[in-house]
Amino acid sequence: MSALKRVQQWATFARIWHIYDAAWQNPFQSAELIKRYLMGLHKPIYHPMNDCGDNVIVINSSEIALRGDEWKKRSYFHHTGYPGGATWTLAWDLHSKDPTMVLKKAIYNSMDGNLQRRYTMERLFIFPDANVPSKLLGNVSNQIRQLRPVPKRLDHYTEDEVQTCPKIIDYPTDYVVR
């Protein structure tokens, strides 16, 4: 095998590190996207028996956005195994206990339940904020594009931008601004 072919082989089968910013993203749609990178579905050489998945680092998982009132309605089931050991935790409660868990479960559930699933999950690293160990961050060579643009909140605009923004209406003099 020539040197060129050898390098081509390494480049084809090397595991790449991707980074994904989960801020303001739907965790369930993001899971479908991240799953593709974890399982290697984004490579034309994909085969179910071919271990060609990549590593993915997810940051800002504490800032995920669920739609509607799903924070209050979506429940996560757990059973300790003992009688009466069933618990149903609401999404907001689970998120306050561990801000990575909602996204992790979304990705885990988006994959088929087979023997490979737990090993695939080991290639996923989720962090609640942007503090990633430099050991991991040094490997990253690709950023996965976010599914939807991050909206900018009013208190994130500078004072000048707010003042210079063209006004559409003047509030009536007797209007109480809360």
Report the interface residues with other proteins, using CB under 8 A: 41-48
Please say whether the beta carbons of 45 and 8 come within 8 A.
Answer: no
Q: Which is nearer to other proteins, 17 or 127 (CB)?
A: 17
CB of 41 to other proteins, least distance (A): 6
CB of 40 to other proteins, least distance (A): 9
Question: Which residue carries 């579905």 as its tokens?
Answer: 41
Please say whether the beta carbons of 122 and 102 come within 8 A.
Answer: no
Q: Which is nearer to other proteins, 16 or 90 (CB)?
A: 16
CB of 105 to other proteins, least distance (A): 25
Question: Which residue carries 């707010």 as its tokens?
Answer: 162
CB of 57 to other proteins, least distance (A): 20
Q: Which is nearer to other proteins, 89 or 146 (CB)?
A: 146
d(CA 104, CA 124): 9
Amino acid, single-letter form, for residue 46: Y
d(CA 175, CA 178): 9
Q: Which is nearer to other proteins, 42 or 117 (CB)?
A: 42
